[in-house]
Protein backbone atom coordinates (compact mmCIF):
# COMPACT_ATOMS: atom_id res chain seq x y z
CA UNK A 1 0.00 0.00 0.00
CA UNK A 2 2.88 2.35 0.67
CA UNK A 3 4.15 1.80 -2.87
CA UNK A 4 0.86 1.74 -4.81
CA UNK A 5 -1.58 3.61 -2.56
CA UNK A 6 -4.47 1.27 -3.38
CA UNK A 7 -4.37 -2.54 -3.30
CA UNK A 8 -6.58 -5.58 -3.55
CA UNK A 9 -6.33 -8.01 -0.63
CA UNK A 10 -7.78 -11.49 -0.92
CA UNK A 11 -7.30 -15.03 0.37
CA UNK A 12 -4.42 -16.81 -1.33
CA UNK A 13 -6.58 -19.90 -1.87
CA UNK A 14 -9.88 -18.10 -2.49
CA UNK A 15 -12.23 -18.27 -5.44
CA UNK A 16 -15.42 -16.74 -6.72
CA UNK A 17 -14.66 -13.26 -5.44
CA UNK A 18 -15.15 -14.19 -1.79
CA UNK A 19 -13.41 -11.99 0.78
CA UNK A 20 -11.86 -9.60 -1.74
CA UNK A 21 -11.13 -6.15 -0.35
CA UNK A 22 -9.94 -2.96 -2.01
CA UNK A 23 -7.90 -1.04 0.53
CA UNK A 24 -6.40 2.43 0.25
CA UNK A 25 -3.36 3.55 2.24
CA UNK A 26 -4.53 5.13 5.46
CA UNK A 27 -7.78 3.14 5.62
CA UNK A 28 -8.53 2.61 9.32
CA UNK A 29 -9.85 -0.89 8.60
CA UNK A 30 -6.60 -2.14 7.05
CA UNK A 31 -5.35 -3.95 10.15
CA UNK A 32 -8.63 -5.72 10.86
CA UNK A 33 -8.97 -6.74 7.20
CA UNK A 34 -5.47 -8.24 7.24
CA UNK A 35 -6.09 -9.94 10.61
CA UNK A 36 -9.33 -11.43 9.27
CA UNK A 37 -7.88 -12.58 5.94
CA UNK A 38 -4.76 -14.11 7.52
CA UNK A 39 -6.60 -15.55 10.55
CA UNK A 40 -4.16 -13.56 12.69
CA UNK A 41 -1.13 -14.66 10.69
CA UNK A 42 -2.04 -18.34 10.27
CA UNK A 43 -3.01 -18.13 6.56
CA UNK A 44 -1.54 -16.54 3.47
CA UNK A 45 -3.12 -13.50 1.86
CA UNK A 46 -2.52 -12.10 -1.60
CA UNK A 47 -1.91 -8.39 -2.13
CA UNK A 48 -2.08 -6.94 -5.64
CA UNK A 49 -1.82 -3.41 -6.95
CA UNK A 50 -5.31 -2.15 -7.71
CA UNK A 51 -5.82 -1.92 -11.47
CA UNK A 52 -8.55 0.58 -12.42
CA UNK A 53 -8.95 -1.24 -15.76
CA UNK A 54 -11.12 -3.74 -13.84
CA UNK A 55 -14.11 -1.60 -14.82
CA UNK A 56 -13.66 -2.92 -18.38
CA UNK A 57 -13.51 -6.49 -17.12
CA UNK A 58 -11.25 -9.18 -15.77
CA UNK A 59 -10.52 -11.36 -18.81
CA UNK A 60 -10.39 -15.13 -18.36
CA UNK A 61 -8.26 -16.78 -21.05
CA UNK A 62 -8.51 -20.56 -21.20
CA UNK A 63 -5.46 -22.65 -22.08
CA UNK A 64 -5.54 -26.29 -23.12
CA UNK A 65 -2.13 -27.95 -22.95
CA UNK A 66 -0.51 -24.51 -22.99
CA UNK A 67 -2.40 -23.21 -26.03
CA UNK A 68 -5.13 -20.57 -25.77
CA UNK A 69 -8.70 -20.74 -26.91
CA UNK A 70 -9.11 -17.88 -29.42
CA UNK A 71 -11.55 -15.95 -27.21
CA UNK A 72 -11.43 -14.58 -23.68
CA UNK A 73 -14.36 -14.07 -21.36
CA UNK A 74 -14.35 -10.52 -20.02
CA UNK A 75 -16.11 -10.56 -16.67
CA UNK A 76 -17.42 -7.04 -16.22
CA UNK A 77 -18.31 -6.08 -12.64
CA UNK A 78 -21.95 -5.32 -11.87
CA UNK A 79 -22.83 -1.68 -11.11
CA UNK A 80 -21.58 -0.74 -7.66
CA UNK A 81 -19.30 -3.79 -7.54
CA UNK A 82 -15.54 -4.10 -8.01
CA UNK A 83 -15.28 -7.87 -8.41
CA UNK A 84 -15.24 -9.38 -11.88
CA UNK A 85 -16.67 -12.74 -10.82
CA UNK A 86 -19.78 -14.18 -12.50
CA UNK A 87 -21.00 -15.59 -9.20
CA UNK A 88 -20.87 -12.04 -7.78
CA UNK A 89 -23.06 -10.67 -10.57
CA UNK A 90 -20.46 -9.79 -13.20
CA UNK A 91 -21.57 -9.91 -16.83
CA UNK A 92 -19.66 -12.27 -19.14
CA UNK A 93 -18.72 -10.85 -22.53
CA UNK A 94 -16.69 -12.87 -25.02
CA UNK A 95 -13.86 -11.10 -26.83
CA UNK A 96 -11.23 -12.18 -29.35
CA UNK A 97 -7.76 -12.43 -27.84
CA UNK A 98 -5.62 -9.35 -28.28
CA UNK A 99 -1.99 -9.37 -29.36
CA UNK A 100 -1.02 -8.78 -25.72
CA UNK A 101 -3.22 -11.71 -24.58
CA UNK A 102 -1.48 -13.99 -27.07
CA UNK A 103 1.93 -12.78 -25.90
CA UNK A 104 1.01 -13.55 -22.28
CA UNK A 105 -0.16 -17.02 -23.31
CA UNK A 106 3.09 -17.63 -25.21
CA UNK A 107 5.07 -16.63 -22.11
CA UNK A 108 3.10 -18.79 -19.64
CA UNK A 109 1.56 -21.61 -21.69
CA UNK A 110 4.70 -23.65 -22.44
CA UNK A 111 5.67 -23.75 -18.75
CA UNK A 112 2.20 -24.86 -17.72
CA UNK A 113 2.22 -27.57 -20.39
CA UNK A 114 5.71 -28.73 -19.36
CA UNK A 115 4.48 -29.06 -15.77
CA UNK A 116 1.57 -31.22 -16.92
CA UNK A 117 -1.16 -28.62 -16.48
CA UNK A 118 -3.63 -29.57 -19.18
CA UNK A 119 -6.29 -26.95 -18.42
CA UNK A 120 -5.74 -23.50 -16.94
CA UNK A 121 -7.30 -20.08 -16.87
CA UNK A 122 -5.28 -16.89 -17.05
CA UNK A 123 -6.88 -13.80 -15.53
CA UNK A 124 -5.87 -10.55 -17.17
CA UNK A 125 -6.79 -7.03 -16.13
CA UNK A 126 -5.72 -4.38 -18.62
CA UNK A 127 -2.29 -5.53 -19.77
CA UNK A 128 -1.47 -7.47 -16.61
CA UNK A 129 -1.63 -11.16 -15.83
CA UNK A 130 -3.11 -11.21 -12.32
CA UNK A 131 -3.75 -14.92 -11.67
CA UNK A 132 -3.27 -18.39 -13.06
CA UNK A 133 -6.14 -20.69 -12.16
CA UNK A 134 -5.44 -24.41 -12.35
CA UNK A 135 -8.04 -25.86 -9.98
CA UNK A 136 -11.34 -24.65 -11.41
CA UNK A 137 -11.03 -22.36 -14.42
CA UNK A 138 -14.48 -21.31 -15.55
CA UNK A 139 -15.87 -19.66 -18.65
CA UNK A 140 -16.30 -22.66 -20.95
CA UNK A 141 -20.09 -22.50 -21.18
CA UNK A 142 -20.19 -18.76 -21.75
CA UNK A 143 -17.58 -18.86 -24.54
CA UNK A 144 -19.17 -21.95 -26.12
CA UNK A 145 -22.55 -20.23 -26.16
CA UNK A 146 -21.26 -16.90 -27.54
CA UNK A 147 -18.95 -18.31 -30.23
CA UNK A 148 -20.50 -21.71 -31.01
CA UNK A 149 -17.38 -23.65 -30.00
CA UNK A 150 -16.96 -26.82 -27.95
CA UNK A 151 -14.11 -26.20 -25.53
CA UNK A 152 -14.82 -29.37 -23.54
CA UNK A 153 -14.35 -31.44 -26.72
CA UNK A 154 -10.96 -29.76 -27.26
CA UNK A 155 -9.99 -30.58 -23.67
CA UNK A 156 -11.10 -34.21 -24.00
CA UNK A 157 -9.14 -34.50 -27.26
CA UNK A 158 -6.03 -33.17 -25.49
CA UNK A 159 -6.51 -35.69 -22.67
CA UNK A 160 -7.00 -38.50 -25.20
CA UNK A 161 -3.84 -37.41 -27.02
CA UNK A 162 -1.83 -37.50 -23.77
CA UNK A 163 -3.21 -40.94 -22.89
CA UNK A 164 -2.48 -42.28 -26.37
CA UNK A 165 1.10 -40.96 -26.18
CA UNK A 166 1.62 -42.70 -22.85
CA UNK A 167 0.23 -45.97 -24.21
CA UNK A 168 2.85 -46.13 -26.98
Exposed, middle or buried, 101 (CB in 10 Å: 0-12/13-18/19+)?
Answer: buried
SS (H, E, C) 47-96: EEECCHHHHHCEEEEEEECCEEEEEEEEEECCCCCCCCCHHHCCEEEEEE
pLDDT for res 150 = 96
pLDDT score of 77 = 80
What percent of the chain has pLDDT above 90? 60
How much is the pTM?
Answer: 0.86
Tell me the domains of the chain and their CATH numbers.
Answer: 6-50 (3.30.1490.20), 53-167 (3.30.470.20)
List of residues 6+ apart from 123 with CB closer than 8 A: 58, 59, 60, 61, 129, 130, 131, 132, 133
How confident is the model over 38-83, as pLDDT tens digits? 889 899 988 999 999 988 888 999 999 999 999 999 988 878 777 6
Q: How many CB atoms lie within 10 A of CB 124?
A: 24
Amino acid sequence: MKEHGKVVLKPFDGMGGRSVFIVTAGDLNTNVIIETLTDNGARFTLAQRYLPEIVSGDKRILLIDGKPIDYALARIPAPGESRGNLVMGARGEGRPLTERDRWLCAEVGPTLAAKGVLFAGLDVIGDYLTEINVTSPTGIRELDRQFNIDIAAKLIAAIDGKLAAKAT
